[in-house]
Every structure is written in structure tokens, then in C-alpha cells.
Amino acid sequence: MSGVGRSPAATILEFFRRFDAEDVEGLLELFADDATFSMILYERELRGKAELAEFFRMHLANWRTHREWATSVIVDGRSAASELHFEGVTHDGKEVVMDNLNVWDFTDDGLIQRIRVYADTAPILAALA
Amino acid sequence: MTHRREHYEQLILDYFRAVDEERIDDVVACFEQDATIRFAFHAEPVRGHDALRAFFTAHVERFAEHVDRVTRILVDGDLAISELVFDATTTDGRPVHLENCNVYRFRNGRFHDVRVHLDTVTMGRQLGAEPDPAG
């Protein structure tokens, strides 16, 4: 099911559910075709579903196990923010715990137009070094 | 008691203006007496007015010039976030450019808890020292 018609809060919770399930195709259904994603680990903004798919598959491949969930969701019109708790174990057994913040913008019909991730990269860089 | 969103938006703007103008008493007045601010999720929070005053005094003394530019505020009940760009020059001439996001929890119309989401790797690289900003 696509993200059309969902509220921003419901889409955010569904995003994390599908991310946890490593359902990349399902994740992409939540995004507008020209959606963007930016995170400090990446020098440029990702744009469009092909780049998003590549990012999600690359990111998910880093982890032997992982789980993440929103600890709060702030909705203000067609924009939102969510605090995220992430716990992962890399393939060589390093544990990573992070708390990030995502800022989201949505299209009028409820698809994700933009995600910006504010993260402290220290824990993830240490684990993936 | 939940205040109007305009109150929270103005409090956030007043807070950054006071930081930029180094009016430490006005910065501290944005916080409840037992409020906390945390600059990395794994760091110990700065708690209470005395600790906040000492923290922000040390923060502004670190920079020859500094400015916080709020680019967006979102408010939902007693929660809010602000995206911001921090530009500064340290007292030894290092330029600093950080893009952060703060999460605010309000109580009695003031900050009860503030969490600063920033990249300590970028910050440490720019400062050339152990991180300790007030984003």
C-alpha cells in the first residue's frame, strides 16, 4: 500500500516499520517520485526513488540485526519531526546505539517529499571503521 | 498548561537572539529552574540555572563571533523543533559552520528539556578540540 492518504504521523510510523522489516519496495511506495533525502554522512542530497533504493539497500546491508523506532513525533501541517532510537549490530559484532532526529515534509496527498536526518555520526563511524 | 504556538516560537527566537548577543541571564531565563539541555544523546545533560549559566558563559567565550540562524520551527502541543545554522569563528581564528536541530519540551511556558542534535565528528573537526558547543 502506498503512502497516499495517510497522515504524516501514520506515514512516519509505517516508514520505520518497513525499514525494520527491510522492505525496500514498501519504503519506496511512501515517497513522492522526486523525493529527497539528506544526511550528514552523504555529501549531496539523494533525489528520486532509484537513489533512495540504493541508499536503503546499502544502509541495511551494514547490519546483522537492527531495530529502530520513533520516540516522539511532532506534526505541524504538512511537516513533521521524529526522534528516532536505533540499535544495531554490525556483521562483525559491533553494537551501535544512536538517537537521531528526522525532519519530514509531505506532499498534499501524504507522500514523503523530503527527509533530513540530523545525526551524530560518531557512533556509526566508530562501528563501521 | 499548553501555550499558544506563537509563544513557543517567540521563546525559541528570543533564546537564540540572547545567545548571539551574549546576554547570559536572558538565555538562562528561557529555561525552567530545573531544566536540562543535552548536546549529544550520550552526554550528561546540563541541569539547572547555575549549570546553564556556567555552560553558556563558557560557550560564548569560545568564539570571537557567532550567530545562530533559525531556518524553521515546528510546533506540536508542548513539543517543538528548530532547524538552525550556526556560523562562528573561534577565538583562535577557526571558522565553524554547523547545521543542527533542537528538540524542545516546554513546561510552564519555558524550556523544560532541550536536546541538540548535532554531529560531534564535524564539530570536533572544525573546533580542533573536544566538542562542547551550544548549537
Query: In whole angstroms, what is the distance from residue A59 CA to residue A57 CA?
Result: 6
What is the band of B132 on the pLDDT scale with cuts at 50, 70, 90?
A: very low
Nearest to B101 among A79, A98, A103 (CB): A103
CA-based nearest distance A8→chain B, Å: 13
CA-based nearest distance B17→chain A, Å: 23
Mean pLDDT of B87-102: 92
pLDDT at B110: 97
- Residue B98: closest CA among B83, B111, B112, B108: B83
- Cell 540499535 belongs to residue: A87
Mark out chain A residues that contact chain B at CB-CB < 8 A. Answer: 40, 72-76, 79-81, 83, 98-101, 103, 116, 118-123, 125
Phi, psi (rounded to 5 degrees) for A127: -75, -35
What is the band of B129 on the pLDDT scale with cuts at 50, 70, 90?
A: low
**CB-based contact A122 B76, cutoff 8 Å:** no
Which grid coordinates belong to A1?
Answer: 500500500
The ipTM value here is 0.89
Q: What does the H/E/C string look like for chain A?
A: CCCCCCCHHHHHHHHHHHHHCCCHHHHHCCEEEEEEEEECCCCCCEECHHHHHHHHHHHHCCEEEEEEEEEEEEEECCEEEEEEEEEEEECCCCEEEEEEEEEEEECCCCCEEEEEEECCCHHHHHHHC
Predicted model pTM: 0.90
**B34: β partners:** none
Contacts of A82 in chain B (CB under 8 A): none
CA-based nearest distance B28→chain A, Å: 25
A66, A87 contact by CB (below 8 A):
yes
Query: In whole angstroms, what is the distance from residue A82 CA to residue B5 CA?
Result: 18
Q: If you ran DSSP here, which 8-state letter would residue B130 be given?
A: -
Q: Is the pLDDT of residue B93 over 60?
A: yes
Low-confidence ranges of chain A (pLDDT < 70): 1-4, 41-43
CA-based nearest distance B25→chain A, Å: 29
What is the band of B131 on the pLDDT scale with cuts at 50, 70, 90?
A: very low
- Residue B12: closest CA among B73, B66, B90: B73
Nearest to B41 among A120, A121, A125 (CB): A120
Q: Is the pLDDT of residue B105 over 90?
A: yes
Best probe of the A interface among B5, B78, B99, B103, by most A CBs < 10 A, is B103
Whether B12 and chain A come into contact, CB under 8 Å, resolves to no
Contacts of A72 in chain B (CB under 8 A): 79, 103
Q: If you ran DSSP here, which 8-state letter would residue B29 be given?
A: H
**CB-based contact A101 B117, cutoff 8 Å:** yes
Nearest to B100 among A74, A75, A118 (CB): A118
pLDDT at A3: 57
Q: Is the pLDDT of residue B134 over 60?
A: no
pLDDT at B42: 65
Express as a percent the part of chain B with pLDDT over 90.
78
Query: In whole angstroms, what is the distance from residue A73 CA to residue A10 CA?
Result: 10
pLDDT at B121: 84
